[in-house]
Amino acid sequence: MRNFFASRWGPVAAGGAIGLVASILQLAGNPPNMGLCVACFGRDIAGALGLHRAAVAQYLRPEIPAIVLGGFLAARLSGEGVSRGGSSPHVRFALGLCAAVGALVFLGCPWRGLLRLAGGDANALVGGLGLVLGIAAGVAFLRSGFGLGRAYPLHGGGAWLAPVAALALLVLLGARASFGPGAAVFFSETGPGAQRAAPWAGAAAGLAVGFLAQRSRFCTMGAFRDLILTRDAHLLRGVAALTGVALVVNLATGRFHAGFAGQPIAHADHVWNLLGMVLAGLAFTLAGGCPGRQLVLAGEGNADSGVFVAGLLAGAALAHNFALVSTPAGAAPAAPVAVGAGLLFCAWVGFAHRERTS
């Protein structure tokens, strides 16, 4: 099994499984073209916990904590669950925040970008171009010696923090917990937050995705980074499999609708679709992984990835609280300022953290 996931078919199997699972979750009740999206589902979790109060985006999505637990189980079974961290945590938190803002200006993480493309949303081509440009900019920093420093082994129960937090979220969801009138946990009655598959289905799907992604090292950012940096297409096969499987399911179920206009939970403001994902792609590259990969690494015991995920949740809350999230009408009025500031910050991080040699 270890050899299979290390082979060329490992990422293909993981990517295909993600595409299939996401498509099934859409059929089971998750939002269209959003069967599995780390940015959007993280936003819903932030809303459910009261970190923002957008009533249409509040739900403890079980897929996200289940991905963490799937990564945890896979790492433990393979002997790879090692607690480590301490590599520029404050910078990683801020990168997670920037990535969330960029993704919510586009309206989707890289996984959702591929699912939107498989559903016929041509706006995803623009966002995909932005993602690749952002990753290419990050690769330029990597080539110039960029690094956030070394991670160190952490003693104590550090490896258990992310899995315990993930399990706590699932318990709150299962109990449909409420801490009083006007207090968390919040559940949307309308909008995307109210479109959801059965909790057990979302949890099972997340566990499977987390397990397979951990074993195969599946990462959309890593796929394009490796192709640009070393001409290695190993992980890119998984990206193609994810898109291809989702496309086949959409065609078979009549859910493929090609075009720019009228796409579900999307907009056709091409400039900010592009630049939002430039920001996200650059932040992912500097932090060392796409949101899905960061969830899996957090499950393994990587505290640095846990900090990045916390930044994603904070960024999602900030984006809603300051009206930065796009709507079907286009980018929000304040979004250009936020994206510009994020790009400047990421550029500063890239230049300031280059290793200097004599």
Domain that holds residue 335: 2-352
Asked if residue 185 has a cis previous peptide bond (ω within 30° of 0), the answer is yes
Could you tell me where the beta strands, DSSP code E, fall in the chain? 84-85, 152-153
Average pLDDT rounded to a whole number, residues 218-228: 97
What is the distance, to the nearest Å, from the Cα of residue 17 to the centroid of all Cα atoms in its chain?
16
Is residue 305 a part of any domain in this protein? Answer: yes
Is residue 325 a part of any domain in this protein? Answer: yes
Is residue 202 a part of any domain in this protein? Answer: yes
Is residue 357 a part of any domain in this protein? Answer: no
Is residue 334 a part of any domain in this protein? Answer: yes
Mind listing the pLDDT tens digit for each residue in 131-188? 999 999 999 999 999 999 999 998 877 778 999 999 999 999 999 999 999 999 999 9
Mind listing the pLDDT tens digit for each residue in 303-345? 999 999 999 999 999 999 999 999 999 999 999 999 999 999 9
- Whether 50 shows a pLDDT value over 70: the answer reads yes
b or e along 299-331 (b: 16 or more beta carbons within 10 Å of the residue's beta carbon)? bbbbbbbbbbbbbbbbbbbbbbeeebbbeeeeb
Residue closest to 24 by CA, chosen among 227, 322, 248: 248
Is residue 213 a part of any domain in this protein? Answer: yes
Q: How far apart are CA 65 and CA 164, in angstroms?
A: 9
Both tokens of residue 28? 């089971």
Total domain count for the chain?
A: 1
Predicted TM-score (pTM) of the model is: 0.96
CA distances from 65 to 34, 309, 311 (A): 17, 11, 15
Average pLDDT rounded to a whole number, residues 237-256: 98
Q: Letter for the amino acid at 129?
A: L
Is residue 358 a part of any domain in this protein? Answer: no
b or e along 3-35 (b: 16 or more beta carbons within 10 Å of the residue's beta carbon)? eebeeeebbbbbbbbbbbbbbbbbeeebbbbbb
